[in-house]
Structure 1
Amino acid sequence: MAITSANQLELLQTAEAVAREKMIDPGLVVEAMEESLARAAKSRYGAEMDIRVSIDRKTGRATFTRVRTVVEEDELENYQAEMTVEQAKQYLSEPKVGDVYTEEVPPVELGRIAAQSAKQVILQKVREAERDRQYEEFKDRAGTIINAVVKREEYGNLIVDVGAGEAILRRNDKIGRESYRPGDRIRCYIKDVRREVRGPQIFLSRTAPEFMSALFKMEVPEIYEGIIEIKAVARDPGSRAKIAVISYDNSIDPVGACVGMRGSRVQAVVNELQGEKIDIIPWNEDLPTFLVNALQPAEVTKVVLDEDAERIEVVVPEEQLSLAIGRRGQNVRLASQLTRLDIDIMTEEEESKRRQAEFEERTKLFMDTLDLDEFFAQLLVAEGFTNLEEVAYVDQDELLVIDGVDEDTAGELQARARDHLEALNKAALDRARELGAEESLISFPGLSPQMIEALAKDGVKTLEDFATCADWELAGGWTTMNGERVKDDGILEPFDMSLEEAQNLVMTARVALGWVDPDELARAEAEAAEGDAAAQEAEA
């Protein structure tokens, strides 16, 4: 095939036809043609030559040019594409390094092999342009709903047509009992769009909580307008879901607006999700109140929140226990996902037994350590005293309110408590020293003898060892692994040490050792405080 005037216009016509079919810029196709013709020309004139092709965008005429660059004499390597300043003088008036000399060369005849190679180059460039167009089109659509047509199934994964390409609905992103045939229409949530070597990969989902949120946004105008906000969603795909909503307009009931007239709005979402039952719950900033709402339809008697551990205890009547837990634990599991708290559910009888066990344990503690009879020890527990420290160091007036306790009795109680604590402290320090604890750690303020003993047992024996500890190693915490929250036990967690207290102690130790400049620390804390204040003002 020769590039002649007879087929020059065909180049442009071909480029425009391919561009229309693939929905890409015709200029990209022309550039691919130029590159393919340049490769064919190099195979004719020599691979070392720098041959370039330019196709006129109006006439379709292809111009072949040879390019030679002026270089230093000692840098001359490719005699076909480079020349020295001396050699360039016969072509250029005042040549200098970096100048380029171009000359037109005759068009080439494309043989069968060269034509096939040119075709492959064009196809490759067109595919790359098509992939780029697909990625640019879909990258900003992540987080939205799309309508697609099922094309085929591969190993349980659905390959669907999204108009400008294909997307994948993986097996674990399908609602369990759904089945589709080629040609079926399907509505999905675009979960992720990635640029990969084989082209853009568009991952869809029908099980993501965000899919339900997007469906409600389509069905409930108040959500689309921002009057109502979806604060949290928890799903057991295809079975049941809980969605928490809040209204920023006092005249609009968020639950009623999401349900719709005779349930029309929520029913539209239920139908799309293959009959998935949906509990719509009013959001509340108060976590215990929100949890009571989240456990509906079960009735809750009592809620005890432990914010540090992110756990919550819920007490329900005996007859409500199975309802609160739900079939296979579904109700409490969804409520836990919605509130992001670990939930312990117990009956009133179980709570009563636990409280009785705690009462008996504290009673025995006071009997054994303070040499009291059972009745007197029970009086202390009934007044709210839980440990020896409270008895030893509480204001004496709080002991005098107990029936039968005068100043002498109160003084004796506190003296016995202090004596016992001092004996415990001495024993703890002796054991810590036996384990190798050094005075630098023992004399460090903020650590009790029992804490020092626990640290020594764990191998923390010097102030340097203590200063290298992370806050969670001391106070404990929670780590999320494979979607499950795993408890990290802290060395000083049995002493009710918080993360903040652990951070302060470790930082104080680092300052004492000279690892941290106290002035820099003060500046950092001041900047952090200013940042928090600015964030609060922005939220307000």
Structure 2
Amino acid sequence: MAITSANQLELLQTAEAVAREKMIDPSLVVEAMEESLARAAKSRYGSEMDIRVSIDRKTGRATFTRVRTVVEDDELENYQAEMTVEQAKQYMDDPKVGDTFVEEVPPVEMGRIAAQSAKQVILQKVREAERDRQYEEFKDRAGTIINGVVKREEYGNVIVDVGRGEGILRRNEKIGRESYRNGDRIRCYIKDVRRETRGPQIFLSRTAPEFMAELFKMEVPEIYDGIIEIKAVARDPGSRAKIAVISYDGSIDPVGACVGMRGSRVQAVVNELQGEKIDIIPWNEDVPTFLVNALQPAEVSKVVLDEDAERIEVVVPDEQLSLAIGRRGQNVRLASQLTGLDIDIMTEEEESARRQKEFEERTQLFMDTLDLDEFFAQLLVAEGFTNLEEVAYVELDELLVIDGVDEGTAEELQTRAREFLEEQAKKALENARALGAEDSLIDFEGLTPQMVEVLAKDGVKTLEDFATCADWELAGGWTTVDGERIKDDGLLEPFDVSLEEAQHLVMTARVLLGWVDPTELEAEEEDGEDDDLEGVEEEQV
């Protein structure tokens, strides 16, 4: 097949037809044709030649050209596509390295193999252009709801026709035991859009919490307008869900707006989610208050929040325990997901027993260490003293408020406490030295003898050893594994060393050893403070 005047216009007509069918830019099809013709020409003139084809967008005329580039003498490798400055002087005036010499060559006669190859190139380019178009169309729609038609089901995964592409609803993204037939209409949440070698992959979901949030946005105009905001969503797909909302208009009740007249709005969402029960909860900045709301319909007697551990203890009446936990732990699990905290639920009886045990342990501690009778030790505990350090180093006035304690008694209590602590420190120091702890660690400011003893038992015996420790190894922390928070015990955690204090101790040790330049450390701290200030200013703006 030769590219003659008879079929020049056919190139443009074919390009237009293909572009309309695949809904892509006609110029992309023409570029694919140019590449395919150039490849066919190379098979005729030689693969080492740099043959290029240009198709006129108006007339359809294909121009074949050979391009040669001027290179340095010692860089000449391809004699068919390159030439030296001296050789270029035959064709050009004052040639320079990097210049190109272009000459037109006769059109090629395309045989059957060449034509087939050209067709394959065009098809491949058109497929790539079609995939790029699909990706560009759907990549910005991730995080939205889309309506589609079920095409087929493969191994439990549903293939959905979403217009100009196909989406996949995986088995684990379906609600409960949903089943679909070909032609069924389906509404899904676009969870992710990825560009892959086999084309763009559109992953759909009906179990994502965001799906419920988007459904409420469609049903509740106040959410769409931004008057009401969905702060958190937790779902047990197909069974139960909790959604936390807040209103920025004092005259609008966020829960009532989401429920709608006679429950019409929430019922529309429930029907779409196969009867999933939905608890709509008012969001509150105060975490304990928010948690009390989240555990509805159970009543809560008391909440104790541990912000460092991101855990919360909830005390409920004995008869409310099963309601607070829910069937198979569903209620407390959803409340935990909604608040982002680990929740421990106990009854009033269990909490009372725990407090009584702590009271007895502290009473026994003061009896054994301060040589007190039970009544006097109980007075100390009842006044809020929990350990010997508080008794030894507290202001004298705080001891004098206890009934029956005068100045002499208070001084005697502090003397006994300090003597006991000093004796304990002495024993700990002796044990640490026996374990091999060196003076560099013992004399390090910030570590007590008891801390040094614990470190030495774990093999940390020098300041160098201490400087290599990570802050969480000292202060402890929490690690999330498979969605569950697991406690990491720290060496100095029994001494109430916080993560910030551990960081400071380790960095101080590194500075003393010369591992870290103190000026650089100060600069980093100043940068951190500046960033914090900028963040505050942005929030104020």
- TM-score tier (shorter): over 0.9
2: distance between equivalents of 1:309 and 1:79? 72
Residue identity opposite 1:171 in structure 2: R
2: distance between equivalents of 1:403 and 1:488? 42
* Residue 505 of structure 1: aligned partner: 505
2: distance between equivalents of 1:51 and 1:217? 57
- How far does residue 140 in structure 1 lie from its aligned partner after superposition? 1.4
In structure 2, the residue corresponding to 1:6 is in which secondary structure?
Answer: coil
1: distance between equivalents of 2:238 and 2:392? 59
| Structure 1 residues 31-46: aligned runs within 5 Å | 31-46=31-46
- How far does residue 12 in structure 1 lie from its aligned partner after superposition? 0.7
- How far does residue 70 in structure 1 lie from its aligned partner after superposition? 3.3
2: distance between equivalents of 1:288 and 1:95? 80
In structure 1, the residue corresponding to 2:404 is in which secondary structure?
Answer: coil
Residue identity opposite 1:190 in structure 2: I
* Residue 310 of structure 2: aligned partner: 310
| Structure 1 residues 205-354: aligned runs within 5 Å | 205-354=205-354
In structure 1, the residue corresponding to 2:520 is in which secondary structure?
Answer: helix
Q: Does residue 1:48 correspond to 2:48, yes or no? A: yes
Residue identity opposite 1:220 in structure 2: V
* Residue 390 of structure 2: aligned partner: 390
Identity across the alignment (%) = 87
Range with bigger deviation, 380-389 or 84-93: 84-93
Can you list the C-alpha shifts for 1:402-424, whole angstroms capped at 9, x where unaligned?
23222222222222211111111
* Residue 67 of structure 1: aligned partner: 67
* Residue 21 of structure 2: aligned partner: 21
Range with bigger deviation, 395-404 or 428-437: 395-404
2: distance between equivalents of 1:373 and 1:14? 103
Judged with a 3 Å threshold, the aligned counterparts in structure 2 of structure 1 residues 365 and 96 are, in CA distance, closer, same or farther, namely closer
- How far does residue 270 in structure 1 lie from its aligned partner after superposition? 1.2
* Residue 476 of structure 2: aligned partner: 476
Residue identity opposite 2:240 in structure 1: R
2: distance between equivalents of 1:399 and 1:70? 95
* Residue 173 of structure 1: aligned partner: 173
Judged with a 3 Å threshold, the aligned counterparts in structure 2 of structure 1 residues 509 and 89 are, in CA distance, closer, same or farther, namely closer
1: distance between equivalents of 2:84 and 2:368? 103
Can you list the C-alpha shifts for 1:134-192, whole angstroms capped at 9, x where unaligned?
11111111111111221122222222112111121122212122111121111111111
2: distance between equivalents of 1:85 and 1:409? 106
* Residue 531 of structure 1: aligned partner: 531
Judged with a 3 Å threshold, the aligned counterparts in structure 2 of structure 1 residues 102 and 530 are, in CA distance, closer, same or farther, namely closer
2: distance between equivalents of 1:386 and 1:85? 91
- How far does residue 101 in structure 1 lie from its aligned partner after superposition? 2.7
- How far does residue 397 in structure 1 lie from its aligned partner after superposition? 2.4
Residue identity opposite 1:346 in structure 2: M
* Residue 449 of structure 2: aligned partner: 449
In structure 2, the residue corresponding to 1:151 is in which secondary structure?
Answer: strand
What TM-score results when the alignment is normalised by the length of structure 1?
0.96
2: distance between equivalents of 1:397 and 1:76? 95
* Residue 425 of structure 1: aligned partner: 425
Residue identity opposite 2:154 in structure 1: E
2: distance between equivalents of 1:77 and 1:9? 39
2: distance between equivalents of 1:445 and 1:346? 42
| Aligned residue-pair number | 540
Can you list the C-alpha shifts for 1:331-371, whole angstroms capped at 9, x where unaligned?
00111111111100000000111111111111111111122
2: distance between equivalents of 1:58 and 1:156? 51
- How far does residue 74 in structure 1 lie from its aligned partner after superposition? 4.3
1: distance between equivalents of 2:121 and 2:467? 63
1: distance between equivalents of 2:94 and 2:530? 65
- How far does residue 468 in structure 1 lie from its aligned partner after superposition? 2.0
- How far does residue 539 in structure 1 lie from its aligned partner after superposition? 1.2
Q: What is the RMSD computed on CA atoms of the aligned residues?
A: 1.7
Residue identity opposite 1:234 in structure 2: A
Q: Which segments of 5 or more consecutive residues in structure 2 lack a partner in the other structure?
A: none
Judged with a 3 Å threshold, the aligned counterparts in structure 2 of structure 1 residues 114 and 235 are, in CA distance, closer, same or farther, namely same
In structure 2, the residue corresponding to 1:179 is in which secondary structure?
Answer: coil
2: distance between equivalents of 1:70 and 1:534? 55
Residue identity opposite 1:43 in structure 2: S
- How far does residue 520 in structure 1 lie from its aligned partner after superposition? 3.3
Range with bigger deviation, 525-534 or 146-155: 525-534
Residue identity opposite 2:481 in structure 1: M
Range with bigger deviation, 111-120 or 410-419: 410-419
Range with bigger deviation, 118-127 or 187-196: 187-196
Residue identity opposite 1:395 in structure 2: E
Judged with a 3 Å threshold, the aligned counterparts in structure 2 of structure 1 residues 453 and 115 are, in CA distance, closer, same or farther, namely same
* Residue 515 of structure 1: aligned partner: 515
| Structure 1 residues 13-162: aligned runs within 5 Å | 13-162=13-162
Residue identity opposite 1:344 in structure 2: D
Q: Does residue 1:197 correspond to 2:197, yes or no? A: yes
Range with bigger deviation, 419-428 or 326-335: 419-428
In structure 2, the residue corresponding to 1:446 is in which secondary structure?
Answer: coil
1: distance between equivalents of 2:120 and 2:52? 18
- How far does residue 316 in structure 1 lie from its aligned partner after superposition? 0.2
1: distance between equivalents of 2:482 and 2:51? 56
2: distance between equivalents of 1:490 and 1:270? 46
